[in-house]
Structure 1
């Protein structure tokens, strides 16, 4: 049987993605640079968008769903006066308007896009419609009729404005499209609009200020990049940590319920550690944790098996 290529390396590399490259391409570059056997990311950024792209390696890919559910923050600039096929500057103009909103009108319109809202994704998105990706249908000249989806918007703030543009910050939950916010805000204001620039400034616990510049991935050697890796548990800061007993750790590593120290709400999702090593994600069952995803990580140096 052929040996799988790549190294068993686990952790998170937080990349400051530049414009002009897709999220999957960034993951591929990171995987190649670190010769990693397995890699993925938590939350796609459009090719023209920049900012935090959290790349998971090895066992950290098992924690991607946790980070996907976390809040994320974006700063973006909207150009008023035109709506486009893609809801950003890369698309063709569908309609124009001579109207331009002032700061007071923008501020007054923002509350309707906060809290629990319903949002229609852009036509150029990865949403599936009858088994086909919306962007594939849109590229063929169709205008896919996408259903509105629920979205939680924790914050939508006007940062700056002039006669033709506005810069805003949005903090939202899973599945949010900044391009849709720009489109719908432009429609609400009667001036039309689309995204000109978009930057993700943080994603869950990961901040763009701590991200690796993309060009470093090609310039640095493996050892330098490995020093920038964050541990698997860096993505789990929003979950309670419980510590397994020696016997509990052995049971958990075999996929069975194991005894833990500490407390959480019954049935709550938690993560379990033992001797400084992350063991699993699971559910707290009162003194024990039932593992859902077990992490196959090496023992820390100096530890005994």
Structure 2
């Protein structure tokens, strides 16, 4: 006889997961969804299997907040191994070029300012970017030559953590769309050598950081039900970096039906491009403010 399927729960919140090495983001979401018996799950920002660190996993209504979290600032700590470039710009690929030159610490520190601000970056051939409807990494694995166009990215800060003749460890604070593997490749080439990423850890995504992250082991060890649910961050935590509009009962009802409402009070904003509206601490909607009116884009059912 076939076993009956377990009932899925309409649970909502964030699992701020510390993703382990050698696990795909899809595998991580599947494991978390199974542990919580969640009806719906997704993630905010893919991490490569060889990368570790913050993978925000949204359950239930939190999936509606994925775009806001995914667009948030990210912090990565990574190691560049000097002397060789690979096909994937990390340790997984084949060596395609080598150099005997090893940069001095002073030279590395001098070149880093060139990689801050808005810069142009050519993504790695082995990336999820689509080329004529196909993923670049699928084309590259099939042996095709993939030349991706440069595109602008934002680097807020980049700092040297440690340095020797074998490798250097750096920390970068950056915006959406930054490929750390490409950054390491370009830094090495700017120093007249070759290099590739040997380790990569994401320490923050938007409001979520290592300080509040949980592991798969911690989730599995927690008793199913209230004990495990207590490890969830609330849906609203995904909006920690956005302005909050607090609604009264009448406004909350109107916004909950998708209607715009006029904001009142001395501190009411006249215009906001992106914000969220709450009632008694719960998310009602995301949206914008124009001419003193809050216009909902996405309504939440919490």
- TM-score past 0.5 threshold: yes
Kindly tell me: are residues 259 and 245 of structure 1, through their superposed partners in 2, closer, same or farther at Cα, counting changes over 3 Å? Answer: farther
Name the structure 2 match of 1:255: 258
2:294 pairs, out of 283, 289, 294, with: 289
Kindly tell me: are residues 276 and 267 of structure 1, through their superposed partners in 2, closer, same or farther at Cα, counting changes over 3 Å? Answer: closer
| Secondary structure of residue in 1 paired with 2:53 | strand
Cα offset, 1:5, TM superposition: 5.8
Cα distance per residue 1:61-88 (max 9 Å; x no partner) = 1111111111100000100000001100
- Long gaps (5+) in structure 1: 298-305
Separation in 1, partners of 2:79, 2:146: 26
Confirm or deny that 1:264 pairs with 2:269.
yes
Structural RMSD (CA):
1.6
Name the structure 2 match of 1:9: 11
Cα distance per residue 1:109-131 (max 9 Å; x no partner) = 11111100011111111000111
Cα distance per residue 1:87-107 (max 9 Å; x no partner) = 001110001111100101101
Separation in 2, partners of 1:69, 1:90: 27
Cα offset, 1:190, TM superposition: 1.3
Separation in 2, partners of 1:138, 1:61: 31
Kindly tell me: are residues 4 and 225 of structure 1, through their superposed partners in 2, closer, same or farther at Cα, counting changes over 3 Å? Answer: closer
| Secondary structure of residue in 2 paired with 1:89 | coil
Cα offset, 1:220, TM superposition: 2.6
2:237 pairs, out of 217, 234, 237, with: 234
- Return structure 1 stretches of 4+ with deviation > 3 angstroms: 259-262
Confirm or deny that 1:147 pairs with 2:153.
no
Cα offset, 1:198, TM superposition: 0.5
Cα offset, 1:268, TM superposition: 2.5
Kindly tell me: are residues 173 and 265 of structure 1, through their superposed partners in 2, closer, same or farther at Cα, counting changes over 3 Å? Answer: farther
Name the structure 1 match of 2:184: 182
1:204 pairs, out of 187, 201, 206, with: 206
Correspondence list, 1:1-305, <5 A: 6-223=8-225, 224-261=227-264, 262-297=267-302
- Normalised by the size of structure 1, how large is the TM-score? 0.93
| Secondary structure of residue in 1 paired with 2:181 | helix
The answer as to whether partners of 1:245 and 1:259 remain within 8 angstroms in 2 is no
Separation in 2, partners of 1:128, 1:5: 36
The answer as to whether partners of 1:244 and 1:258 remain within 8 angstroms in 2 is no
The answer as to whether partners of 1:244 and 1:259 remain within 8 angstroms in 2 is no
| Secondary structure of residue in 1 paired with 2:241 | coil
- Normalised by the size of structure 2, how large is the TM-score? 0.94
- Long gaps (5+) in structure 2: none
Separation in 2, partners of 1:178, 1:4: 40
Cα offset, 1:217, TM superposition: 3.0
Kindly tell me: are residues 265 and 43 of structure 1, through their superposed partners in 2, closer, same or farther at Cα, counting changes over 3 Å? Answer: farther
Cα offset, 1:263, TM superposition: 2.2
